[in-house]
Amino acid sequence: MFSRKSLQICKSAIWQIYTCRENQEQPVDQEEQSIARLKKRAALVRQTLRGYAHASVVTERERMERLARMTQEEARAIYDDLCQSWESGGQGGDLERLERWRIETLVAVRDAMARVSRRLEDE
User: In terms of pTM, does the model score above 0.95?
Assistant: no
In this prediction, residue 69 has a pLDDT band, given cuts at 50, 70 and 90, of: very high
Residue 23 has pLDDT above 50, yes or no: no
The length of the chain is 123
In this prediction, residue 22 has a pLDDT band, given cuts at 50, 70 and 90, of: very low
How far apart (Å, rounded) are the C-alpha atoms in residues 97 and 84? 16
pLDDT of residue 72: 92
**Average pLDDT of the segment spanning 50-59:** 81
> Greater confidence, 90 or 10?
10
User: DSSP string of 64-111?
Assistant: HHHHHH--HHHHHHHHHHHHHHHHTTTTTTTHHHHHHHHHHHHHHHHH
**Average pLDDT of the segment spanning 66-86:** 89
pLDDT of residue 92: 55
In this prediction, residue 123 has a pLDDT band, given cuts at 50, 70 and 90, of: low
